């Protein structure tokens, strides 16, 4: 559609309001980048603000400033109170991160999907649509809350909450990775981190069946059944892929898995955890060990395959295209969340994007280097060391003396890098959504049970053999 | 079942081939989608920006004046009123002056924007403009009179240029004959001889 048919200047002269023009792809991409930067800083600010306030500022105020205002305050009591407040810091971080993050993710998906499909996406509410999710949430809040006749009232009201709660709980081990195990966030560092995440992620499946059954609607029931079948069948390849990574890293502790990938891109688990340079052995015929090169090639190929399998399985777990038949708008009248209106629907929606965030986060930790910068180990260690004991002396004022001394700011780098990597994985998930059509239920189940599970089982075996050879 | 070596080899290599083939196609699809990022978005942000409309799009009707002299082009021939399927046009000829209309009512509520009136007008007076924002608060406000319908001289000139036409009064006899699809209203009926003469002048070879 060129402007050969009409002369735009001539047409624009007919009416003062006429403005015949069209946007360009470059302008839209630029606006998207600005919008994302704005929102990512808001998300990071909210989460970091909550963490910093509860872990550092409030304990300091309770310990040092409060006794000046309350006469008979026992110092040990103030200590206990500040300890409790500090202990709440991870919870508050999650509570501030999840809603703000979901707001950004919904908007980012719509804008990025529009960019990939030659459209513009929402751009009327706020700058380039920045407040769109806020407007959507407000609209859903004002909608009438309908419980269908014959629906099981208790289960109907409980299922959105039960779907949303595990999404927030599984954030816990990821916080320690993001915050570089600093301060109170070391308590969030679970040795069974990966298994914790898997366990709580499985809780969401139950609420899908609850939602479908309690709606008193045969289409919702079908959607709920399909959703739970899909969830349990794709959990298995996900767990088996994770098992291989646990074998490679030697621990189920997320912080440990992340730390094994320090030292640049070559150390990432997707590239074989540092065995990529061994591929030179395939070509150097004199002082090379061909068998070592071959096994390294096999190992790296398997790591890439593991990444793809894990990505596929987690996309299926969070009910995302191409695996979103349970909630497909055109197939099943929105599946299991047909009868949910207003805030209940908003909770399902929010929880879905939060699940996707967690799935991307786990993929980043397991395969893409966790929270470490893509620079070599020495520089990163010295950078973090330099920032782990910062004293800002010129901002010390009066009663706040001693507040800004010996701060550990190394978490700034790791959390920003972690967040950016997670959003990059999220963009890849949107990219996949823009490309692939939906899988039918039987195609879905066949793919999961007949292809992915035997494949991952075989991969565990071969990875174990490769590791034994390479480490010997 | 016949278990031959070929079948065994095929059954082991087929899943691998299918996987590679599938992965290749998915990656190909994903890169195609990335290519679409470089294309301009086709969304028109109405109402901030008006959509591009072709010169021949049929929206609000208007009456032209002569771009050179400024005279009203309507000769009150009532052809538009005759041909209109909805009967939404009312032409009231002038009492005293010949070939001039005193009042011209066009009900846009009844109008179906078929463009027949613009096709039959002998002077290219009534035209379809590209303006589609004609919502009013009441049905009576949609009945346009001659004041509301008539365009200014500059607008008329612009529309003639946009549609690539010259006012029929200015077209020479040769130009008029060259256009075999111009219906010239003949009050006594059109004879076969006139039709053949017209077609021959246009160079249309009879079968």
Tokens of A207: 């609420």
pLDDT band at A5 (very low <50, low <70, confident <90, very high): very low
| Interface mutation target, options B40, B57, B60, chain A, most CBs of A under 10 Å | B40
* Cα–Cα distance for residue pair A272/A367, rounded to 1 Å: 9
pLDDT over 50 (residue A1): no
Residue A6 pLDDT grade (very low, low, confident, very high; cuts 50, 70, 90): very low
- pLDDT bin (cut points 50, 70, 90) of residue A104 is very high
**pLDDT band with cut points at 50, 70 and 90 for residue A10:** low
For residue B50, the 8-state DSSP code is P
Question: pLDDT tens digits, residue range B28-40?
Answer: 999 999 999 888 8
Scanning the structure block, which residue is given the tokens 């901002």? A395
pLDDT tens-digit map of A319-360: 888 888 777 655 556 677 788 888 898 998 889 999 999 999
Mean pLDDT of A249-256: 92
B30 lies within 8 A of chain A by CB:
yes
For residue B18, pLDDT over 60 is answered with yes
Minimum CA–CA partner of B161 in chain A: A10
Residue A216 contacts residue A150 (beta carbons within 8 Å):
yes
Residue of A14, A321, A451 to mutate when probing chain B, most B C-beta within 10 A: A14
B92 SS3 class: strand
**A121-141 confidence digits (pLDDT tens):** 898 898 889 999 999 999 999
Q: Which ranges of A269-323 would DSSP assign to H, the alpha helix?
A: 290-317
Mean pLDDT of B147-160: 86
Mean pLDDT of A20-35: 85
Q: Which of A9, A25, A321, A459 is the best mutation test for B, with the most CBs of B within 10 A?
A: A25
Interface test with B, best of A23, A27, A124, A309 (most B CBs within 10 A): A23
In the structure, what pLDDT confidence band is assigned to residue A283 with cuts at 50, 70 and 90?
confident
**C-alpha distances in angstroms, A149 versus A159, A320, A341, A414?**
17, 30, 14, 51
Contact A99, A39 (CB under 8 A): no
Give me the pLDDT at residue B187, please.
Answer: 46
List % helix, strand, coil for chain A (3-state, nearest 5). 70, 0, 30
> Tokens 């779907």, residue?
A163
Within 8 A of B49 by CB-CB distance, chain A residues are 19-22
State whether B38 and A20 contact (CB < 8 Å). Answer: no
Q: Which one of A8, A117, A307 would you mutate to disrupt binding with B, by most B Cβ within 10 Å of its Cβ?
A: A117
Q: Identify the pLDDT of residue A233.
A: 93
Mean pLDDT of A384-411: 76
Interface residue B135 vs chain A (CB under 8 A): no
Nearest beta carbon to residue B38 from set A17, A25, A435: A25
Distance, in Å, from the CA atom of A447 to the CA atom of A455, rounded to the nearest integer, reads: 11
Q: What DSSP string describes A191-207?
A: TTHHHHHHHHHHHHHHH
Identify whether the C-beta of residue A222 lies closer than 8 Å to the C-beta of residue A212.
Answer: yes
User: Number of C-alpha atoms within 13 angstroms, CB side, residue B27?
Assistant: 7
Q: How many Å lie between the alpha carbon of B132 and the closest alpha carbon of chain A?
A: 12
**Average pLDDT value for chain B:** 82
Query: Are the beta carbons of A119 and B54 separated by less than 8 Å?
Result: no
Nearest to B29 among A3, A24, A436 (CB): A436
CB within 8 A of B41, min separation 6: which ones?
Answer: A22, A23, A25, A28, A114, A115, A118, A119, A120
In A324-387, which ranges are continuous DSSP H helix? Answer: 342-367, 377-386
- What percent of chain A stands above pLDDT 90? 49
How far apart (Å, rounded) are the C-alpha atoms in residues B61 and B107?
A: 10
Q: How far is B130 from chain A (nearest CA, A)?
A: 9
- Split at pLDDT 50, 70, 90, the class of B186 is very low
The verdict on a CB contact (< 8 Å) between B50 and A431 is no
Give the single-character DSSP code of A439: P
List % helix, strand, coil for chain B (3-state, nearest 5): 35, 10, 50
Smallest Cβ distance to B55: which of A5, A432, A451? A5
Say how far apart CA A59 and CA A341 lie, in whole Å: 41
Tens digits of residue pLDDT in B45-79: 777 777 767 778 899 999 999 888 888 999 999 99
How many inter-chain contacts (A to B, CB under 8 Å) are there? 92
Option in A3, A118, A432 nearest B52 (CB): A3
Coil, helix or strand at residue B74: coil
Q: Rounded distance, CA A227 to CA A213, Å?
A: 12
Looking at beta carbons, which residues of chain A come within 8 Å of B12? none
Q: What angle do CA A402, A407, A411 make, to 5 degrees?
A: 155
d(CA A165, CA B159): 64
Instruction: State which residue of chain A sits closest to B31, comparing Cα positions.
Output: A435
- Asked if the model's pLDDT at residue B175 lies above 60, the reply is no
Q: Which of B40, B51, B55 is closest, CB to CB, to A23?
A: B40
The whole-number pLDDT of residue A288 equals 66
Question: Which residue spans within chain B are E strands per DSSP?
Answer: 61-63, 89-93, 101-107, 126-128, 143-144
* Among A99, A224, A203, CA closest to A156: A224
- This prediction has a pTM of 0.83
Q: Is B57 on the interface with A (CB under 8 A)?
A: no
Q: Residue B61: beta bridge partners?
A: B128
Q: What is the number of other CB atoms lying within 10 angstroms of the CB of residue A86?
A: 19
Arithmetic mean of pLDDT, A386-409: 75
Task: Give A2's pLDDT tier (boundaries 50, 70, 90).
Answer: very low
Res. A425: pLDDT tops 50: yes
pLDDT class for B204, splitting at 50, 70, 90?
A: low
Instruction: Tell me if A60 sits within 8 A of A28, measured CB to CB.
Output: no
Go through chain A and tell me how many residues it has: 472
Q: A135-182, pLDDT tens digit by residue?
A: 999 999 999 988 889 888 899 999 999 999 999 999 999 999 998 888
* Cβ pair A19:B26 closer than 8 A: no
**Per-residue pLDDT tens for A183-206?**
888 888 999 999 999 999 888 888
Inter-chain touch A21–B49, beta carbons under 8 Å: yes
Q: Would you call A118 and B42 a contact, using CB atoms and an 8 Å cutoff? A: yes
Q: What is the mean pLDDT of chain A?
A: 87
Question: What's the pLDDT score for residue B183?
Answer: 47
Question: Considering only alpha carbons, which residue of chain A is nearest residue B51?
Answer: A20
Cα–Cα dist A282/A395, whole Å: 58
Between β-strands B126-128 and B61-63, what pairing exists: parallel, antiparallel or unpaired? Answer: antiparallel
Q: DSSP letter at A406?
A: S
Task: Compute the Cα dihedral for A159, A164, A169, A173 and give only its sign.
Answer: positive
pLDDT confidence of residue A143: 92
- Is the model's pLDDT at A232 over the cut of 80? yes
């Amino acid at each position: 559609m060129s402007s050969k048919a009409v002369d735009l200047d001539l047409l624009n002269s007919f009416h003062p309001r006429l403005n015949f023009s069209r946007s360009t792809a470059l302008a839209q991409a630029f606006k998207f980048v600005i919008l994302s930067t704005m929102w990512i800083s808001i998300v990071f600010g909210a989460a970091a603000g909550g963490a910093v306030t509860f872990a550092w500022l409030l304990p300091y105020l309770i310990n040092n400033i409060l006794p000046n205002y309350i006469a008979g305050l026992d110092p040990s009591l103030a200590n206990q109170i500040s300890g409790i407040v500090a202990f709440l810091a991870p919870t508050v971080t999650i509570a501030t991160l999840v809603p703000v993050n979901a707001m950004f993710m919904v908007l980012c998906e719509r804008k990025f999907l529009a960019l990939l499909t030659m459209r513009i996406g929402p751009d009327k509410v706020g700058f380039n649509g920045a407040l769109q999710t806020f407007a959507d949430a407000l609209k859903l809040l004002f909608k009438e809350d309908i419980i269908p006749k014959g629906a099981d009232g208790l289960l109907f009201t409980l299922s959105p909450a039960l779907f949303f709660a595990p999404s927030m709980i599984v954030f816990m081990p990821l916080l320690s990775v993001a915050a570089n195990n600093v301060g109170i966030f070391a308590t969030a560092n679970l040795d069974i981190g990966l298994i914790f995440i898997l366990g709580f992620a499985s809780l969401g499946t139950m609420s899908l069946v609850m939602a479908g059954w309690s709606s008193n609607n045969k289409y919702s029931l079908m959607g709920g059944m399909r959703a739970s079948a899909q969830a349990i069948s794709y959990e298995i390849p996900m767990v088996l892929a994770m098992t291989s990574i646990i074998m490679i890293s030697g621990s189920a502790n997320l912080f440990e898995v992340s730390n094994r990938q320090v030292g640049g891109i070559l150390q990432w688990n997707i590239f074989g955890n540092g065995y990529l340079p061994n591929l030179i052995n395939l070509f150097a015929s004199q002082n090379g060990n061909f068998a070592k090169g071959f096994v390294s090639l096999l190992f790296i190929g398997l790591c890439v395959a593991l990444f793809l399998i894990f990505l596929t399985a987690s996309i299926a777990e969070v009910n995302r295209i191409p695996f979103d038949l349970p909630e497909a708008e055109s197939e099943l009248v929105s599946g299991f969340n047909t009868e949910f209106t207003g805030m209940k629907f908003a909770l399902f929606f929010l929880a879905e994007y939060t699940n996707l965030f967690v799935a991307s986060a786990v993929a980043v930790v397991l395969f893409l280097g966790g929270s470490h910068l893509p620079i070599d180990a020495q520089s990163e260690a010295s950078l973090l060391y330099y920032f782990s004991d910062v004293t800002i002396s010129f901002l010390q004022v009066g009663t706040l003396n001693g507040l800004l001394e010996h701060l550990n700011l190394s978490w700034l780098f790791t959390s920003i890098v972690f967040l950016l990597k997670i959003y990059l994985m999220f963009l890849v998930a949107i990219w996949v959504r823009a490309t692939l059509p939906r899988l039918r239920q039987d195609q879905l189940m066949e793919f999961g049970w007949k292809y992915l599970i035997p494949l991952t089982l075989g991969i565990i075996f071969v990875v174990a053999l490769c590791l034994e050879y390479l480490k010997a | 079942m016949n278990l031959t070596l070929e079948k065994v080899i095929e059954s082991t290599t087929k899943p691998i081939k299918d996987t590679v083939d599938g992965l290749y196609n998915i990656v190909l699809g994903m890169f195609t989608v990335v290519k679409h990022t470089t294309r301009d978005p086709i969304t028109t942000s109405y109402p901030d920006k008006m959509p591009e409309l072709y010169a021949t799009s049929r929206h609000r009707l208007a009456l032209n004046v002569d771009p050179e002299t400024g005279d009203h082009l309507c000769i009150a021939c009532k052809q538009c009123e005759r041909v209109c399927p909805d009967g939404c046009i009312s032409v009231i000829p002038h009492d005293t002056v010949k070939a001039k209309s005193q009042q011209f009512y066009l009900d846009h509520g009844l109008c179906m924007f078929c463009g027949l009136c613009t096709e039959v007008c002998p002077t290219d007076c009534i035209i379809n403009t590209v303006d589609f924002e004609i919502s009013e608060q009441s049905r009576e406000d949609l009945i346009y009179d001659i004041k509301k319908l008539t365009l200014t001289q500059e607008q008329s000139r612009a529309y003639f240029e946009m549609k690539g036409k010259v006012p029929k009064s200015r077209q020479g006899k040769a130009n008029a004959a060259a256009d075999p699809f111009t219906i010239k209203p003949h009050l006594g009926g059109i004879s076969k001889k006139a039709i053949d003469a017209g077609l021959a002048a246009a160079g249309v070879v009879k079968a």
